[in-house]
A and B are shown apart, each in its own frame.
Chain A
């Protein structure tokens, strides 16, 4: 057995292992999963000299408190996160987007995300995890992935298989930009809604509800009136789809979404805004802004170039 391991003192609210997720499984009912905020996931891995598709620990709101035992390793946290690192005689306030070296007996205490939802803890190691369909991503709904598909729990020990030999300390200056306008492409049932409903969708503010998780984000606001049918024949969904059920409150499908749904689709969030969308915490205001397909494609290309550029500078 490995002599390097983590003990979970406090698990946090929704702490899971995530990686790039799994594909080619929608037809059997299994969604992508994977890190919610892909850009912060990639940066976290780069900061500790990992392969970019390595497993990280994702947390939401309150993060885990972890004690490390073993030889020296690097760690880094990305997102907008308040945390501390406790060493033998000192406790330092941690900074995101910087890697730290931790050694036997050190503790990482992730207190909370700041006006955002998800944060990422990467360690310069290979965790000893079970993979299902080439991914260790935990889908707590279907109990798929590492840790028997369950979120991390207090008292648990996580073994590390391998430790990176490259222990270079890295740092980058990245600031998570917040946006209020989420760009959307018209959905396949856009015409199911009244003229007034369509106007409300693009012009009014919606509030992110507390009933939001890795599966979906529920919104509250003025009701969007359906004039055709509040149900459609069930069909496939993808992440970012905005469904409006009979009660008129939109639900946005997120990474662990059900693969099939029967509510009309008013819009789909443009891929360029997905990472920022998932970071909007309950109570945040959202406004939707329509863009066309070709603009969405161009904007995503630019976003992707920016991500690659950020990674190459680390």
Chain B
């Protein structure tokens, strides 16, 4: 449930579902997100679900804080039957060409390269949210012994397709962008495709993702099959 609603500026509602990050709170966020999205309330022009918050922005020319708050407070958020949630396998190549931060991770986590990959691969991760850059999924949760802070100085350019870790989360850089996450590998998959206007994102909030390792040769041939 929403614990508190406040305003974020004069054109958005800040719905707080709690401070913790877990699947159950996030499922509540997604439930509200999907319900409100479907109802198409006049004036609401964007919804941003995240781990434990939902930001609802609106056109101040058409509505205001009081109206939208009243609407959200009285909404009957439907349990989405998860018909839209998918289970996806993401191929990832962890060859040293790509795994730029695996040494750093090894030092921080005091784990060998093999152990890091064993801990990371072939497990189910839940997509909490997408964003920051178009289509970037925020996936969790990593095992306790796999959690590291972001780089002290972020990279100016993280290559497209990079699979990276920070704290309890993994993400995928959908295109080249600045970023400070620890890079473990690279996927040849197009995780964001702006030519598909209906479904530009391969991974959406609520989906489950499993990373499967591929070799460098498989990576190179991936888009030629």
A: residues with CB less than 8 A from B are: 23-30, 32, 132-133, 141-144, 149, 185, 187-188, 233-238, 240-241, 258-261, 265, 268-271, 293, 296-297, 300, 304
Contact = CB atoms under 8 A, between A and B. Distances in A.
A278 B76 CA distance: 39
Contact of B175 (A143, A236, A240, A241): A143
A185 B205 contact: no
Contact of A28 (B64, B130, B175): B130
Nearest to A30: B134
A132 B197 contact: yes
| Chain B interface residue number, banded | 35 or more
B45 A259 contact: no
Nearest to B135: A29
Given A258-B132, A259-B48, A27 B205 contact: yes
B117 interface: no
B132 A260 contact: yes
A30 B133 CA distance: 7
8 contacts: A23-B46, A133-B197, A142-B175, A185-B7, A234-B50, A234-B129, A234-B138, A260-B129
Contact of B131 (A24, A188, A236, A240): A236
A143 B194 contact: yes
A233 B134 contact: no
Give the most central of B54, B129, B201: most A CB within 10 Å: B129
Nearest to B47: A27
Contacts of B64: 297
A28 B127 CA distance: 12
Interface stretch (B55-63, B78-86, B217-225): B55-63
Given A28-B200, A236-B48, A296 B10 contact: yes
B1 interface: no
Interface in B127-169: 129-136, 138
Contact of A24 (B21, B46, B177): B46
